[in-house]
Structure 1
Amino acid sequence: MGLELLTSGELAEKLHKSAAALAQWRYKGIGPKFIKLGSGIRYRASDVEAWLDAQTRQQTGEQVSA
């Protein structure tokens, strides 16, 4: 299947953010897509990569497209 799931802690470490920051992103709907499995949260590596691609900019003043 090749499905890689990351925990909040694993993703936070990769992004150099805190798990609390990821929780805020989930609350605000601004982070990568996530999967709620029971009481845990997981992130598909492919969803994280797609989200990172969408964050890529050429200049600092560039607007985010919706």
Structure 2
Amino acid sequence: MGKLLTEKQVAERLGFHVQTLRNHRFEGRGVPYCKIGRAVRYDENDVIAFIEASKVQPAER
């Protein structure tokens, strides 16, 4: 497990609003997260994997 990040830190890295992360959690999609009591935390490695999985390779012509 990597460093645990807050909602605000993840939102800043991804260019999202915090509410977007909350909506994704409610909808069951987006970056995997951990609940520690009432606190939501994201594993830095999961954030990196989410970014990598979102890459789009342009088609060759």
Aligned amino acid, residue 52 of structure 2: D
Name the structure 1 match of 2:10.
Answer: 11
Deviation at 1:8, TM superposition (A): 0.3
Identity %: 32
Aligned amino acid, residue 31 of structure 1: G
Q: Which runs of 5+ in 2 are unaligned?
A: none
Deviation at 1:10, TM superposition (A): 0.9
SS of the aligned residue for 2:23 comes to helix
SS of the aligned residue for 1:25 comes to helix
TM-score (norm 1): 0.78
Q: CA RMSD in A?
A: 1.8
Distance 1:59 1:30, change over 3 A: farther
Moved over 6 A (4+): none
